[in-house]
Copies of this chain bind each other. A is one copy, B any other.
Amino acid sequence: MTQVRTDKILRVGILGFGTVGSGAYRMICDNQSAISRKTGFGFEVVKIGIKDATKERDLPRSIFTTDLESIVTDPSIDVVLELIGGVDPAGDLVEKALLNGKNVVTANKELMAKHGSRLVQLAKDKGLDLHYEAAVGGGIPVVQPLKHQLAGNDVLKIMGILNGTTNFILTAMEEEGADFKEVLADAQAKGYAEADPTNDVDGFDTAYKISILASIAFGKQVPVEKVHREGIRGITKIDMQYAEMLGYRIKLLGVADAVGPDRVRVHVHPVLLPKNHPLAAVRGVYNALWLHGDFVGDVMFSGRGAGSDPTASAVVGDLVDIGRNIAANGPGSAIPYGVGMELEGMDSLKTSYYLRVRVLDRPMVLGQIATTFGKHNISLAAMEMKTLDAEHGEIVFLTHPCLEKDFLSSLREIDAAVDVYEICNWFRVEA
Contact = CB atoms under 8 A, between A and B. Distances in A.
Interface string A285-318: 0000000011111111111100001101111111
Given A152-B316, A299-B303, A304-B298, A335 B324 contact: yes
Interface in A316-350: 316-321, 324, 328-331, 333, 335
Nearest to A37: B219
A328 B328 contact: no
A296 B324 contact: no
A296 B309 contact: yes
Contacts of A324: 333, 335
B300 A301 contact: yes
Contact of A330 (B34, B295, B330): B330
A138 B193 CA distance: 38
Contacts of A148: 141, 144, 317, 320-321
Contact of A321 (B151, B300, B329): B151
A278 interface: yes
A420 B304 CA distance: 47
Contact of A133 (B149, B298, B329, B330): B149
Given A144-B148, A149-B144, A139 B299 contact: yes
A388 to B, nearest CB: 35
A281 interface: yes
B320 A296 contact: no
A154 interface: yes
A315 B148 CA distance: 11
Contact of A298 (B34, B296, B303, B312): B303
Interface string A149-162: 11111100000000
The bracket for how many chain A residues form the interface is 35 or more
Interface string A273-285: 0000010010000
Contacts of A38: 151, 219, 335
Contact of A294 (B31, B304, B321): B31
Given A139-B297, A314-B149, A329 B331 contact: yes
Interface of A: 23, 27, 30-31, 34-35, 37-38, 133, 139-141, 144-145, 148-154, 219, 278, 281, 293-304, 309-310, 312-321, 324, 328-331, 333, 335
A146 to B, nearest CB: 9
A219 B320 CA distance: 15
Given A278-B281, A295-B27, A303-B297, A320 B152 contact: yes
A310 B34 CA distance: 32
Given A31-B154, A139-B295, A144-B149, 10 more contacts: A37-B219, A139-B299, A141-B299, A149-B313, A153-B313, A293-B313, A296-B303, A300-B303, A329-B331, A330-B331
Given A301-B301, A330-B331, A296 B321 contact: no
Contacts of A328: 330-331, 333
Contacts of A318: 149
Nearest to A318: B149
Given A141-B150, A278-B302, A295 B320 contact: no
16 contacts: A31-B294, A34-B154, A133-B149, A139-B297, A141-B148, A149-B314, A149-B317, A150-B313, A150-B317, A152-B315, A152-B316, A153-B313, A153-B317, A296-B309, A298-B303, A299-B302
Given A297-B139, A299-B302, A309-B296, A317 B151 contact: yes
A400 to B, nearest CB: 26
Contact of A310 (B219, B297, B309, B320): B297
